[in-house]
Amino acid sequence: MSQSQTAIEQSIARPLTTLSEDEQMFRASVREFAEGELRKRVEEMDEQGRLDPALTKLCFDLGLMGIETPEEFGGAGGSFFQAILAVEELSRVDASVGVLVDVQNTLVNNALIRWGNQEQKTKYLNQLASEKVGAYALSEAGSGSDAFAMQTRAVDGGDHFVINGRKLWITNGKEAEIFIVFANANPEAGYRGITAFIVEKSTAGFSVGKKENKLGIRASSTTEIILEDCPVPKENVLGEVGKGYKTSIETLNEGRIGIGAQMIGIGTGALECAIRYTGEREQFGKHISEFQGVQFQLAEMATDLEAARLLVYNAARMKDAGLNFVKEAAMAKLYSSRAAERITSKAIELYGGYGYVKDYPVEKFWRDSKIGAIYEGTSNMQLQTIAKLIISGK
């Protein structure tokens, strides 16, 4: 890494006072991996719209796919905050790998850790920590923000449930072998019939459908999931029958902090590029970073990023401390996704015409940032959550 690059990173360094020595070392190790193994693959993966399988294996080998999973189940036994640091550092280089690790840790693993029984944890957490990618299948064509409107059905078949339905926008859908699938086992009860199931890719009647051709995070697979008379044994019910709505809501609250981490990683990568470029680009006989107008834009970007990072870190700390973090998670996701869009857009403008072409990295950061306002709860849903909680006095 060049001396100038190191200086740029130090100029927008994370607030080190909030990190323990172990956390700083962990973050440094993830950054080393991102720079050494990930960066050289980013352009090709984005162009091809697929993750390099060798890179996914490296994520497992380094323990990044089971950060918070207890050691007894093959994981690293780390904290939620460490998972957030990993997502941030990976997304600074490539948000597609960032969301691969994010979904694995903050959604799939977290759901099993919190709601799984001992047998389920032993069987599935070990696999998810060592070799198998997981996915979280909640959304449907008519059930996005209104998750309770899902049409996927689970019919009691004695010692198993038979599931029929289609899921859309499933992150990791192509790579995953273990899915957390939500279906309504009692439609007459409305949302109180929604149940979470652990479904393996090899199950009869289960198939992966269309892979979406996306604007951003192109290497991350987003697919349709099809279940046709799919038999799932009753021991694969995650939590209790009819309590899936609680599982989905509470797991997504944690996942939103992960998306916040992805967004601040994207913002960091774009800002570093902008600082470096403006210090090299010359116009009117001097570097454009010497112009006050450019300096002010960089200052605005850095301030936006720092505010977003502190919101995300605070929400993650609250989660680890066992505090109620729902409002803080919503604020972190809302603000960080908006900040990432602003920062990456300004980075493109500072690059001028070069910012608009794929020969330079900032256009990808901008494309990757847009999804932050959409998945795991749109910005409008975050505003609704925040408003409800502040008005109620919570």
Instruction: List residues with catalytic annotation.
Output: 376
Contact 183/206 with Cβ under 8 angstroms? Answer: no
**Separation between Cα atoms, residue 163 and residue 232, nearest integer Å:** 7
**Separation between Cα atoms, residue 119 and residue 346, nearest integer Å:** 50
Which amino acid is it at 354? Y
Contact 362/267 with Cβ under 8 angstroms? Answer: no
- Considering only CA atoms, give the Rg of the chain: 21
Contact 215/367 with Cβ under 8 angstroms? Answer: yes
Q: If you write DSSP's letter for every residue of 27-68 in order, what string do you get?
A: HHHHHHHIIIIIGGGHHHHHHHTS--HHHHHHHHHTTTTSSS
The candidate with the shortest Cα–Cα distance to 364, out of 212, 170, 210, 220, is 220
Nearest 5°: the CA angle 309, 311, 314 is 105
3-state helix, strand, coil split of the chain in percent (to 5) is: 60, 15, 25
**Separation between Cα atoms, residue 255 and residue 239, nearest integer Å:** 18
Identify any residues that bridge with 222 across adjacent strands, giving them in sequence order: 171
Task: Please state the φ and ψ torsions of residue 70, each to the nearest 5 degrees.
Answer: -55, 150
**Separation between Cα atoms, residue 206 and residue 202, nearest integer Å:** 7
Contact 41/54 with Cβ under 8 angstroms? Answer: no
Contact 108/180 with Cβ under 8 angstroms? Answer: yes
Q: If you write DSSP's letter for every residue of 138-180 in order, what string do you get?
A: --BTTBSS-GGG---EEEE-SSEEEEEEEEEEEETTTT-SEEE
**Separation between Cα atoms, residue 293 and residue 215, nearest integer Å:** 31
